[in-house]
Structure 1
Amino acid sequence: MVGPPRPLFVLFGSSIVQFSYSEDGWGAALADIYARKADILLRGYSGWNSRRAVQVVDQVFPKDAAVQPSLVIVYFGGNDSMGPHSSGLGPHVPLPEYIENMRKIAIHLKSLSEKIRIIFLSSPPVNEETIRERASSYRGIFSDIDRTNEACRRYSEACLELCRDIDVKAIDLWSAIQKRDDWMNTCFTDGIHLSSEGSKIVVKEILKVLKEAEWEPCLHWKSLPTEFSEDSPYDLVASDGKTTINPSEWTFHRKIQWD
């Protein structure tokens, strides 16, 4: 670890998380927004389902860690929702087991610290036509991808219902993304994974939760202190030639001025 200590945010999930630093992804956006305020740690595992996550959650989040996260954002469900393969292999997890796996993840995370905060992301929608087109390119490598928007909806709703039952904040990505009229053509790189436009929706929804949550302390970026924000004679010199300008809160480089 390097110091001084900052709040630690961990992103835990499958490829939606692992790829969140690519394509102007939502993880990269959060890292920029929280620069000098919190450390964003990526723990994404492409191809994983909730079953694999439960197997290692105590290794990813050990109870005896010297520093525990202030916030964990969790996403599993898209791979779980894929249709079962006749061999019994593959990422499919039946819906009742998916619910219990997500419950186990939440219970473990809550056991780490009384101060830990958790947000679950529900399964986003998919563009089935694009998936079918891209799947034809991979024939001979693996079997057809059985992923439907209807299955994503069922797993999304199950995740949201679980979160209401166990008092965990949740974001309904399945609905949030489809509020955009052109979501099918703009929000994905391949029909499944999020483009920069899809990621913007995720960031907006996460910041909304962090701003509205009645958490103490508040974890919204505008409420967190900025590291080394004190004025210094070594800052940029102002036009009067006598004072300096502190750039620690500048956000002009961002395409979006996040609330």
Structure 2
Amino acid sequence: MVGPARPEFVLFGSSIVQLSFGDEGWGSILANLYARKADIVLRGYSGWNSRRALEVLDKVFPKSLSKKTRLIFLSSPPINEEQIRSTLSKQLGDLGRTNESCRIYSEACLEVCREMNIEAIDLWSALQERNDWLNVCFKDGIHLSSEGSKIVAKEILKVLREADWEPSLYWKSMATEFSEDSPYDPTGADAKTPTNVSNWTFQESFQWD
């Protein structure tokens, strides 16, 4: 570990997680918003399913979960079957996936989370709320484009904003690391008075409220 300990958000899953830091992905959106607040830790493994993930769960999360640990499950997103046939199927053959099977898997995930009182996000429905979701949400029919990733990020932030958790894990509610005033802060317009820019946001943060 480098520097002071920060809260950690561990993103664990398959290729949709592994690729989330590239091309304006949802992982990179979170890393940007939580700069100086929390570390976004990437633990995504392309090609994996739940059974494969269970084989290494104790290695990815070697410590017992504390009372402050919070879980958010993301259900299966929808897919663009035609786009898969024109892209991935050429290399991998028939993947045997349909949007209907994704719906069934998504609903099963959500039902388990309701039974266990775990926060969950219905990605299958969230992405399809856009009328043009088939055309804009995917790069290859499965993996998310920047537009698809924006939806995922907004859904995660909505849960973090509304969850009754103590402490809050919503980015605007968390402390900024090393945010105290310093005589070495950059000077303001008068070229003399130090200006603390620790809590400035350098992105169009309004869209992530």
TM range (shorter): over 0.9
Q: Which residue of 2 aligns with 1:120?
A: 73
AA aligned opposite 2:107: E
Q: Which residue of 2 aligns with 1:107?
A: none
1:198 Cα offset (Å) = 0.3
| Change over 3 Å in CA distance of 1:136–1:27 after alignment to 2 | closer
1:151 Cα offset (Å) = 0.3
Q: Distance in 1 between matches of 2:205 and 2:18?
A: 23
Q: Distance in 1 between matches of 2:199 and 2:103?
A: 40
Matched, 1:10 2:31: no
Q: Which residue of 2 aligns with 1:53?
A: 53
1:16 Cα offset (Å) = 0.6
CA RMSD of aligned residues (A): 1.3
Identity between Structure 1 and Structure 2 (%): 69
Q: TM-score, normalised by structure 2?
A: 0.96
- Structure 1's unaligned 5+ residue stretches are 64-110
Where 1:237 maps in the other structure, the secondary structure is coil
1:256 Cα offset (Å) = 5.8
- Residues 49-198 of structure 1 correspond to what in structure 2 (within 5 A)? 49-63=49-63, 111-138=64-91, 142-198=92-148
Q: Distance in 2 between matches of 1:117 and 1:22?
A: 25
| Change over 3 Å in CA distance of 1:34–1:155 after alignment to 2 | same
Q: Distance in 1 between matches of 2:190 and 2:147?
A: 42
Q: Which residue of 2 aligns with 1:237?
A: 187
C-alpha contact (below 8 Å) 2:88/2:140 kept by paired residues: no
- Structure 2's unaligned 5+ residue stretches are none
- The superposition leaves residues 147-199 of structure 1 with CA deviations (integer Å, 9 ceiling, x where unpaired) of 10000000000000000000110000000000011101101010100010000
C-alpha contact (below 8 Å) 1:251/1:257 kept by paired residues: no
C-alpha contact (below 8 Å) 1:33/1:221 kept by paired residues: yes
Matched, 1:211 2:164: no
Q: Which residue of 2 aligns with 1:25?
A: 25
Q: Which residue of 2 aligns with 1:228?
A: 178
How many residues are treated as equivalent by the alignment? Answer: 209
Q: Which residue of 2 aligns with 1:102?
A: none
| Change over 3 Å in CA distance of 1:135–1:253 after alignment to 2 | closer
C-alpha contact (below 8 Å) 1:6/1:38 kept by paired residues: yes
AA aligned opposite 1:200: K
